[in-house]
Amino acid sequence: MTTLFDPIQLGAIAAPNRILMAPLTRARATRDHVPTALMVDYYRQRASAGLIISEATGISRQGLGWPYAPGLWSEEQVEAWKPVTAAVHDAGGRIVAQLWHMGRLVHPAVTGEDPVSSSAIAAPGHAHTYEGNKDYPTPRPLEVSEIPQLLETYAHAARNARAAGFDGVQIHAANGYLIDEFLRNGVNQRTDDYGGSPENRAKMTAEELAKDQAAADKLMNAHWSVQDGVLVFDGKGKSLCTAKDYRDFEMYVDWKIKEKGDSGIYLRNNPQVQIWDPKLGNVGSGGLYNNQKNPSKPPVIADNPVGEWNTFRIKMVGEKVWVWLNGVLVVDNVTLENYWDRKQPIFSTGQIELQNHGNTLYFKNVFLREIARNLHV
């Protein structure tokens, strides 16, 4: 049985246990938001966690309104973070930086600038400043033309995090800060491309999408390859998705893993039809692993020995899923739950994804057939 002390692969990070340290604002940096020696000791002492998420760290002076909180926009800050990450690594730990833009929840007394937000609506309550509490001022709505530069500011902070020795980054997008201010209709009163419906408030521009897609394609080509007719994943990089969305479909795919291998197939962007070494959980592949209310485990282990090829036949119609593994029906008319919001049904359309779980994978003979809604198959 899996315990909190068992290792886990978190993307590219191999965590030695499943205990994660949440970000905790400590306010131990300088007034220029430069980390201090006290922070070296603080994070070293907590390096036994499987992964440390740093305290919220500002991406720019404009977005950091918490007195004495650290930043990641200047070279001085990068250099001061290096002893912190080195201390964590020397103690056997892993650490990622939480990147933070506070949006309207800042005060010029700290930032030296007027706050910005999605709309000109002041936040309730008061800001903490070096001179005590002050009422939040009314923020300036960001111009559409400013948003690409804001995204670049996040990217710059992420590059600085890597230079400082962090193992990754987490984007703070909750608690009423800038990203959340664009997602919440009580704050976002815009009428342009970044206002209106939830989809509109969260969407990327065509330019942003093209840029991110190019980066994703480059990463894909570095870690996914075709060798003698077999699609091979080297265990690094990201999962591989279809270019189009699917509604109802039938899929055939052959797959192979190594010992202790772990993967899966996302259906309409939702996890997942499980693939793994049955020895990991004494449960076979093919189950709808992330289900909670509906069946998640196959009734039998139908896997071929690890290192040999297996064949999935997967059918999805509406919310219902059928899975055959090596000719054995292991999932029979089971509802796939919405992992991202269990109060909602599964997405009506979405991509199909071959999941990365940090180990070598092999796929071949991948066939997809769309099923028309008026057909009964």
Residues in the chain: 377
Distance CA 209, CA 225 (A): 24
CA-nearest of 82, 90, 95, 12 to 50 is 95
Q: What is the CA radius of gyration of the chain?
A: 24
C-alpha distances (whole Å) from 375 to each of 124, 206, 314, 370 are 55, 36, 17, 11
Helix (H, G, I), strand (E, B) or coil at 93: coil
Burial 290-299 (b: 16+ CB within 10 A, else e): bbeeeebbbe
Beta carbons of 67 and 104 less than 8 angstroms apart: no
Q: Which residues are catalytic?
A: 177
Helix (H, G, I), strand (E, B) or coil at 284: coil
Residue 107 Cα to chain centre, angstroms: 30
Distance CA 45, CA 196 (A): 46
- Peptide bond connecting 272 to the previous residue in cis, omega within 30 degrees of 0: yes
Q: Please enumerate in sequence order all residues whose Cβ is within 8 A of that of 248, keeping only pairs 6 or more positions apart, or say none.
A: 316, 317, 318, 370, 371, 372, 373
Distance CA 155, CA 94 (A): 21
Structure tokens at 128: 């903490």
Q: Please enumerate in sequence order all residues whose Cβ is within 8 A of that of 195, keeping only pairs 6 or more positions apart, or say none.
A: 118, 188, 189, 201
